[in-house]
């Protein structure tokens, strides 16, 4: 039995245990037989009324039940991820069903307090219980069951998806993404791109019905539609949140436009301007990624001349005899240098660091918090590479966040908003600079600033290229849920938004019945996507602010907060808040402002942006 990706995703939303990962998520909550109750008080008229005291008792009962569920479910999930068998899959699936049922029950009961006069903390906790449901089920049991069945079917279609090539070779998504990353054959790339999208047309009628049912569930909780419910999870009016994302994108767009122009030119030289017209969007299959969401895999095609920084972290790890545990302990020292406590010994005895030879495991890196106390772990099959060294720093960022908010009530044991957790992990990774590598003895000299362009280009191809994609996925879904985009226009509207925001186009005409959104995991999986956009904005602002707190005098892209107790203290203050306060208050702790500001991205990539503008002189940019 294979556990469905949608099921796993729901559980992560419920517990906040680990990363939301694009293709594979693995953690669960185990339900209990306890029932949270709502005491009802008869009014003088005989009608039932609820009071603040009723809300407090309800929240107390729910918290007690959730603590037990989270611990049991976390253990079930950990066992499944590390010992993949039919039995452990069944245990994980059972835990999923129980946690999902509990989540629906909590949300419906929390909604009964919508008109009750409660204090601010109670209201925040009640809203948490309502808003954590990603796909709220209608109160009709038959429709609720139908929604669950649709979710399982969509997950199954995606997870079982494959493509048989013209040569008769059957390929998995993993096989195809590897080809997309490494091939430079135009026709082979086109076959992979179009082949993967053959899996999704059958999703369309299921997706239509899922949207109808989830909208009904959202309305039952007091929201106009599911998109409005998702947007209401950010401590501001739903419409204001949408405007805020557009404002932030407007700040980044000039940098993206220049990166796009340069990359399109280089691709035109590789494939010919007949295949990559210089006044049109870039064909989506040429950017090294199945979804054209990040472009780092084509660095070799667009790398600046003389961009080699003069060192290779992978080779340096080997020279200094780092094994997998040394890499983890090295990353831990980053955090202790900031003033954080060392990791508990159980972290090292219970985590998974290398791929076992005797069993199947889920290798995709993730951070875990099993008991909301000190049982924190990572799970990854570490490769001794520079990239993995960065990833370990990122994962420990999650673990230290989890540990920092452990004393918060269970409702608030999560990041300030759903972008913060990823942003914190990436903020830490931004400090893995040449300066840091020299301080810990991995390299001997820091390359001069002439080498920065290559390093910045590598980052921009992943981080800047992603930002418009991170924005448009939910732009499309919000319009679907509101009814602005109707089923007959699902696919055409998807590509209109991709051209508008990314300057990326389908490489071939799409059939009227195509459902290309379904070829991206998060759409059939029902995973909100704005969190990834937010994380890409927030990490640079956090990095800039922490560098200022640390007294850094280097350019922001060269800064590392390693060894700064001042930066560590500010970071810890924010992390300890969990989600107990509106995210704006947590933001202010580090940045001094309650409003996000994407200018930090422009500051970070300023040398690259100047270089791109020079390269683009005389070219026809825009799409």
Q: Give me the active site residues, please.
A: 364-365, 394-395, 398, 422, 522, 532
DSSP label at residue 588: H
Sign of CA pseudo-dihedral 589, 593, 595, 598: negative
Report the alpha-carbon distance of residue 17 to residue 367 in Å, rounded. Answer: 7
And the tokens for 428?
A: 């830490």
What letters, b where the CB count within 10 A reaches 16 and e where it falls short, cover 327-354?
A: bbbbbbebbebbebeebeeebeebbbbe
DSSP label at residue 580: S
Phi-psi map region of 306: left, alpha, beta (phi>0 left; psi -120 to 50 alpha): left
Report the alpha-carbon distance of residue 93 to residue 77 in Å, rounded. Answer: 9
What letters, b where the CB count within 10 A reaches 16 and e where it falls short, cover 123-152?
A: ebbbbbbbbbbbbbbbeeeebbebbbebbe
Sign of CA pseudo-dihedral 353, 358, 361, 363: positive
Report the alpha-carbon distance of residue 329 to residue 342 in Å, rounded. Answer: 10
Cα torsion through 12, 13, 14, 16, rounded to 10? 60
Taking a C-beta distance cutoff of 8 angstroms, is the pair 462, 572 a contact?
no
And the tokens for 361?
A: 């495991």
Please report the DSSP string for 510-574 in residue order: PPTT--GGGGSTHHHHT---HHHHHHHHHHHHHHHHHHHHTT--S-GGG---TT-HHHHHHHHHH
Residue 168's alpha-carbon distances to 160, 163, 164, 165, 171, in angstroms, are 18, 9, 6, 5, 9
* 447 burial level (CB within 10 Å; 0-12, 13-18, 19+): middle
Phi, psi of 290 (to 5 degrees): -55, -30
Of 549, 244, 553, nearest in space to 419 by CA: 244
Cα 365 to its chain centre, rounded Å, is: 13
Residue 364: partners with Cβ closer than 8 Å, 6 or more residues away:
21, 23, 24, 26, 380
């Amino acid at each position: 039995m294979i556990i469905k990706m949608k099921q796993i995703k729901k559980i992560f939303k419920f517990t906040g245990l680990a990363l939301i990962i694009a293709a594979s998520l693995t953690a669960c909550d185990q339900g209990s037989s306890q029932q949270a109750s709502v005491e009802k008080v008869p009014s003088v008229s005989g009608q039932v009324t609820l009071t603040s005291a009723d809300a407090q008792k309800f929240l107390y009962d729910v918290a007690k039940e959730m603590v037990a569920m989270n611990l049991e479910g976390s253990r079930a999930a950990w066992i499944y991820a590390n010992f993949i068998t039919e039995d452990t899959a069944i245990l994980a699936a059972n835990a999923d069903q129980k946690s999902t049922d509990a989540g629906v029950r909590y949300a419906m009961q929390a909604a009964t307090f919508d008109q009750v006069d409660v204090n601010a903390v109670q209201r925040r906790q009640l809203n948490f219980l309502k808003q954590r449901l990603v796909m709220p089920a209608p109160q009709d049991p038959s429709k609720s069951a139908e929604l669950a069945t649709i979710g399982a079917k969509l997950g199954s279609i995606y997870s079982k998806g494959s493509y048989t090539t013209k040569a008769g070779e059957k390929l998995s998504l993993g096989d195809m993404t590897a080809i997309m990353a490494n091939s430079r054959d135009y026709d082979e790339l086109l076959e992979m791109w179009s082949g993967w999208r053959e899996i999704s047309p059958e999703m369309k009628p299921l997706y239509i019905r899922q949207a109808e049912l989830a909208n009904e569930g959202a309305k039952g909780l007091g929201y106009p539609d599911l998109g409005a419910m998702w947007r209401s999870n950010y401590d501001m009016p739903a419409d204001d949140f949408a405007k805020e994302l557009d404002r932030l994108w407007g700040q980044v767009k000039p940098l993206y436009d220049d990166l796009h122009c340069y990359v399109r030119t280089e691709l035109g030289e590789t494939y010919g301007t007949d295949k990559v017209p210089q006044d049109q969007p870039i064909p989506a299959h040429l950017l090294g990624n199945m979804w054209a969401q990040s472009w780092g895999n084509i660095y070799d095609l667009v790398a600046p001349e003389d961009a080699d920084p003069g060192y290779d972290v992978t080779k340096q790890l080997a020279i200094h005899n780092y094994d997998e545990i040394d890499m983890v302990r090295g990353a831990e020292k980053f955090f202790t240098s900031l003033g954080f406590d060392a990791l508990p010994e159980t972290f090292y005895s219970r985590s998974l660091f290398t791929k076992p030879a005797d069993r199947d495991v889920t290798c995709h890196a993730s951070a875990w918090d099993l008991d909301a106390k000190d049982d924190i772990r990572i799970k990854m099959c570490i490769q001794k590479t520079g990239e993995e060294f960065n990833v370990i720093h990122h994962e420990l960022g999650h673990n230290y966040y989890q540990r920092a908010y452990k004393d918060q009530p269970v409702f608030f044991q999560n990041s300030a908003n759903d972008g913060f957790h990823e942003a914190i992990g990436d903020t830490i990774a931004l400090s893995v600079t040449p300066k840091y590598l020299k301080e810990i003895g991995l390299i001997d000299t820091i390359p001069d600033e002439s080498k920065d362009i290559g390093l910045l280009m590598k980052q921009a191809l992943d981080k800047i290229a992603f930002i418009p994609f991170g924005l448009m996925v939910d732009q499309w879904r919000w319009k679907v849920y509101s009814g602005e985009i109707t089923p007959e226009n699902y696919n055409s509207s998807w590509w209109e938004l991709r051209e508008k925001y990314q300057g990326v186009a389908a490489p071939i005409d799409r059939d009227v019945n195509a459902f290309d959104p379904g070829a991206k995991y998060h759409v059939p999986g029902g995973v909100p996507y704005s969190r990834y956009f937010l994380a890409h904005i927030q990490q640079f602002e956090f990095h800039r602010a922490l560098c200022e707190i640390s007294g850094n005098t280097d350019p922001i892209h060269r800064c590392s907060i390693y060894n700064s107790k001042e930066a560590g203290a500010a970071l810890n203050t924010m992390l300890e808040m969990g989600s107990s306060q509106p995210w704006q208050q947590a933001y202010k702790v580090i940045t001094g402002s309650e409003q996000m500001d994407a200018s930090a991205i422009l500051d970070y990539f300023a040398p690259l942006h100047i270089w791109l503008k020079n390269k683009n002189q005389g070219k026809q940019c825009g799409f």
